[in-house]
Amino acid sequence: MASHKHRYNLRSTKVDTSKVTKEECCQKHKDQVLRWYCKTCGIPICRECTVLEHTSPEHDYVTIESATEDPLAEIKNLVADCEAISSKVNAAITKVDMVKARLDVRLTIASKQLKDAESKAKDEVFLKDLQENVKTTTDQLNTIKMERYAKIENEKENLQHVKSKLSNALEMANQVIESSSTHDVGYSTLCETLTQLQEDIKPVGISHSLSVVKFTPSQMGSAESGNLGTLISKGPSPRDKTGKWVLEKEIGMEGQGKIIFASGVAVDPNTSDILIADISDKNIKVYDSDGNYKQVLEGDLNQPHDVAVSSDGFKFVTDRTEYVKVFSPDGTYLKQFPADTDGSYMYLCGLTIDNDGNLLAGSTLNLHSISKHKQDGTHIATIKTDDHPYFLGATSQGRIVVCVNNHNWRYANIVDHMGNILHTINAPKDCEPWLWCPRSVCCSDDGIIYITSFDQGDGEDYGGIYSYTEDGEYLGCVTTDVIHTEGIALIDNDRLVVNQGEYPAKIFSYEMSEMY
């Protein structure tokens, strides 16, 4: 890293002259008054200092009266950046706690299912075989528990340590800002510390996969061998070929939760609730993680197209207007805010939240772009795109996946935060290029991109879900057991929910094909 000295040679700085008066003397040279300001070191100096220690050209100094900028500006900017990092660290700690809570629930459920399977099998299995199987599976559960607890605690300790370092540095910096004095502390050292913290601290967060553990009982006919079931302790990894996705259930088939025509879908990271945008019903339907209907979100919605949920539970909806609609964690409609339209007629479709917690809303029709906002609606940037951002996904590496709504454009693009195309995803080898039309997308914590295809040909809907790496490398076909695909989302990183327009939504689970 370049020295801090050279960093400040490039900046013009103003000292607070109300704090450095002509009567104030140099601490090193008691008979000299502080009449100069060294911009290189960020401290007031006297004439002796300019000759002995702060000599030109290594040091750039000016008279206090002629300084032109606030000497605290650099600290204030660094503090703002570090506070943003601190928010990410707090969010990462919250996520660790959430993963731990989910792991506890799943361990409890798996243990209960094992005991139930043992009870049902007692009359059909040799006692010795039964006891051996129960002991083996119980030992595996305990091993998983201890290993996962250790990883979770280690991650939390690291984050707490980072949080402490940030808090201490920010406390000192805020004291300097409040006192408007830069020479009572090591100004350069403080700036160096804040800068270094920004470079060193990059909280990536814990993977939801640590909470994955599930016991699937065997059919009683196959339990005679003493094998009571399969213990699954990991979700899909980018190159894992030992498992498969299977249809778990269909949702939205009847009653209050019946789907009329579904578009986008999101999963609440706190509760694992499933939120489905129903265009025809003009509302957002909410189901629990098992697909049971819970409630409906209604507000000033036109044709709700997509939905996203923040880490603190706020819901955001695009509804084919130029506005993003906002709901509270309990589902109360709060407000709306406009996207950047650039003066063009447009409406918003795709919606996602990136790793920094910013909203990305895709606009179509006359303006092909992604409008980037803070969650309070503040506009950050407008990212131009080459095509219609019908559905959007945000990867763990900060990239954006753009799926389009045009049967003449049979590809999806992976772009950077400026809209530059990094990779283009074309038809997978499992699908005819003339049939494949990428529709919607979601991204996992582990670097997998899942894209649905709304395949049409010969008057029929074929459909499929396909997986890719963040570099656009094709991994495989998840399933073709879908039709008229619309939105897609991950539940706890190991289950997929996909909308099918006027048909019920489907939940797919990832199951390993061998004992773990």
Query: For residue 4, which amino acid is it?
Result: H
Please state, as a whole number, how many other Cβ atoms lie within 10 Å of the Cβ of residue 484. 19
- Alpha carbon distance 75, 112 (integer Å): 55
Report helix, strand or coil for 449. strand
56 vs 54: CA distance, rounded Å: 7
pLDDT digits (tens, 9 = 90+) for 90-110: 878 887 887 888 888 888 888
In the DSSP assignment, the letter for residue 396 is T
Q: What residues have CB less than 8 Å from 178, skipping those under 6 apart?
A: none
The pLDDT tens digits of the residues spanning 407-423 come to 666 789 999 988 899 99
State how far the alpha carbon of 263 is from the alpha carbons of 250, 303, 346, in Å.
16, 10, 19
Give the mean pLDDT per block of 10 residues along the chain (516 residues): 32 40 72 81 83 84 64 76 83 82 85 84 65 86 91 90 88 78 58 78 70 73 59 63 80 92 92 93 93 91 94 90 92 90 73 90 80 91 85 90 76 90 86 81 88 70 85 90 92 88 92 51
Superfamily of 4-66 according to CATH? Classic Zinc Finger (3.30.160.60)
Residue 15 neighbours by CB under 8 Å, 6+ apart: 37, 44, 64, 67, 71, 182
pTM across the whole model? 0.66
Residue matched to tokens 């074929």: 462
Q: How far is CA 314 from the centre of its chain?
A: 14
Answer for the pair 311, 300: CB distance below 8 angstroms, yes or no: no
Q: Which tens digits make up the pLDDT trace of 328-361?
A: 999 999 999 998 766 566 788 999 999 888 999 9
Element (H, E) at 91: helix 73-121
Summarised one tens digit per residue, pLDDT across range 211-270 is 778 787 776 544 455 567 777 776 665 555 556 888 999 999 989 899 999 999 999 987
Contact 482, 500 (CB under 8 A): yes
Please provide residue 324's backbone torsions phi and psi, each rounded to the nearest 5 degrees: -95, 130
> What is the model's pLDDT at position 16?
43
- Cα separation, 401 vs 412, in Å, equals 7
Domain ranges for the chain: 4-66, 73-232, 243-512
Let me know: does 265 contact 488? Beta carbons within 8 Å: yes
3-state secondary structure of 59: coil
Domain range 243-512, CATH architecture: 6 Propeller (2.120)
Residue 512 tokens, joined:
């390993």
* Distance of alpha carbon 360 from alpha carbon 54, whole angstroms: 49
